[in-house]
Amino acid sequence: MTARVRRGPTVVIVGGIAATIGAWLALGLLDACLGALATLAYAASAPSVVGATRVPDGAAPDPRSVRKWREEHPDATISEAIAAVSER
């Protein structure tokens, strides 16, 4: 199964960053800030580059078991608890 790659938003965002740097060098800080603001606004509202990742049923650990493991091991991080519960 091949993943569908969406390059459009990536190209626009990278182009906006390049245009912002170019505006800063050529025109000044105010124009660069406007370019950066436009790029950030587009990046916040653009469709995801990666897309939605499907998680197979049974792949996510039970939150109650993760919480119980963390209560038993208070110095552990959540990532460590998920890894420990998933290995069981």
DSSP string over 38-62: HHHHHHHHSPPSS-PPP--TT-SPP
Q: What mean pLDDT comes out for the span 55-81?
A: 82
pLDDT of 88 over the 60 cut:
no
Rounded distance between C-alpha atoms, residue 34 and residue 12, angstroms: 15
My answer on whether 10 and 44 are in the same domain is yes
Cβ atoms of residues 85 and 61 within 8 Å? yes
My answer on whether 49 and 71 are in the same domain is no
My answer on whether 45 and 10 are in the same domain is yes
Q: What mean pLDDT comes out for the span 20-27?
A: 94
Cβ atoms of residues 47 and 80 within 8 Å? no
| Structure confidence at residue 25 (pLDDT) | 94
My answer on whether 45 and 62 are in the same domain is no
My answer on whether 14 and 33 are in the same domain is yes
Note the pTM of the prediction, 2 decimals. 0.50
My answer on whether 44 and 16 are in the same domain is yes
Structural domain for 84, as ranges? 58-88
Percent of the chain with pLDDT over 90: 38
